[in-house]
């Protein structure tokens, strides 16, 4: 048996990104704990919000969780770019792999959020 969110490609790619983010975090030099914490929290936030969105019944809330997950993915991208600009991790393959996964995640979450039917507002 599986949870419904485990079946989604976006969730699977997100788990792969969490592994990438952990690899980047482990390679950060001492004294950069703040970046490590922010990257790992945002990465885990993507996965958690996807799961919450799938489990939500309200269409408005479902879309909101997917949008929050997307924002966390974009936050992760920013952290990777800061780490790259500061030359804190020398493994370009690891950084590029994370960035590529984030681009896929953002695209899939955008499509997922847009696919949730909008709640129609009835005017009286």
| Domain spans in the chain, listed from the N-terminal domain onward | 4-115
Q: What pTM did the predictor assign? A: 0.91
Fold classified for 4-115 = de novo design (two linked rop proteins) (1.20.1440)
Main-chain phi, psi angles of 45, to 5 degrees: -65, -35
Cα–Cα separations (whole angstroms), residue 82 to 50, 79, 91, 100 = 25, 5, 14, 16
Q: Residue 43: is it exposed, middle or buried by C-beta count within 10 angstroms (0-12/13-18/19+)?
A: buried
Distance CA 93, CA 112 (A): 28
Name the average pLDDT for the chain: 94
Q: What percent of the chain has pLDDT over 90?
A: 91
Q: Residue 66 pLDDT more than 80?
A: yes
Q: CB neighbours (10 Å) of residue 110?
A: 14
Q: What is the pLDDT of residues 15-49, one digit of tens each?
A: 999 999 999 999 999 999 999 999 999 999 999 99
Quote the pLDDT of residue 121: 43
């Amino acid at each position: 048996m599986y949870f419904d969110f485990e079946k989604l490609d976006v969730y699977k790619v997100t788990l792969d990104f969490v592994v990438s983010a952990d690899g980047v975090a482990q390679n950060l030099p001492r004294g950069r704990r703040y970046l490590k914490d922010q990257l790992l929290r945002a990465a885990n936030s993507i996965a958690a919000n996807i799961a919450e969105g799938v489990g939500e019944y309200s269409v408005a809330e479902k879309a909101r969780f997917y949008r929050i997950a997307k924002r966390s993915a974009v936050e992760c991208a920013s952290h990777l770019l800061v780490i790259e600009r500061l030359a804190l991790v020398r493994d370009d393959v690891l950084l590029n792999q994370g960035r590529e996964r984030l681009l896929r995640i953002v695209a899939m979450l955008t499509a997922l959020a847009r696919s949730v039917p909008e709640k129609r507002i009835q005017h009286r």
